[in-house]
Amino acid sequence: MVIYPDFYFDNVRDVKLEFLQKNNIKGLILDIDNTLIDFDRKFEDGTEQWVDDLKKAGVKFCIVSNTNKVDKVKYVAETLDIPYFYFSKKPFKKGFMKAKDEMGLKVENIAAIGDQIMTDVIGANRCKMFSILVKPIAEKDIFITRIKRPIENIIIKRYLKKKEKEKV
Ligand SMILES: [Mg+2]
């Protein structure tokens, strides 16, 4: 089981077109909670613009969320105008693969972006997609995420150490 992300960014908007082109990434699978919106369903400034700009450059998008709250997923998907799958049971592969088919791309041309290693990163890695971990938008989070976060922090620390060593 590969627990490390391929890449680690502060937020989704730091994932730029040049970076995608360099890695031959043509489609992005997006997590919702704490990746696109906070606990109050609020987008961070610039997120819609980020999606629009990448779309204009030909990048495809699909939402894959574990939430069962369909109204929330619909609100996000309609705001950004991208297709969605919800109640996806990440890290199981099914949701990721449905998104792959929806975008009509190969796994090696897809990156999945999310704030959780246990669901987003491991799921993407299992599918042989790129995994991009972002910092969670809000610290006030649902209970289950709070339980997982200490594990996340340990893995991120190890990941950054590993990257640092690779640079030398
Ligand atoms: Mg999340």
76 CA → ligand 1 middle, Å: 13
Beta bridge partner(s), residue 134? 9
Count of domains in the chain?
Answer: 1
Q: pLDDT tens-digit profile of 54-72?
A: 999 999 999 999 999 999 9
In the chain the beta strands, taken as DSSP E runs, fall at 7-9, 27-30, 60-64, 84-85, 110-114, 130-134
Q: Answer yes or no: is 25 within a domain.
A: yes
Q: Answer yes or no: is 116 within a domain.
A: yes
18 CA → ligand 1 middle, Å: 25
Q: Nearest 5 degrees, angle CA 12-CA 60-CA 19?
A: 50
Q: Which of 90, 98, 83 lies closest to 51 in space, CA to CA?
A: 83
Strands 84-85 and 60-64, by their bridges, are parallel
Q: Please state the pTM of the whole predicted model.
A: 0.88
Per-residue confidence band for 139, with pLDDT thresholds at 50, 70 and 90: low
112 CA → ligand 1 middle, Å: 12
Report the pLDDT value the prediction gives residue 49, as an integer from 0 to 100.
98
- 121: domain CATH number? 3.40.50.1000
Q: Answer yes or no: is 2 within a domain.
A: no
Domain containing residue 138:
7-167
168 CA → ligand 1 middle, Å: 33
Per the prediction, the chain carries an average pLDDT of: 92
Q: Answer yes or no: is 52 within a domain.
A: yes
Question: Under a CB-based contact definition with an 8 Å cutoff, are residues 95 and 122 in contact?
Answer: no
Report the pLDDT value the prediction gives residue 66, as an integer from 0 to 100.
96
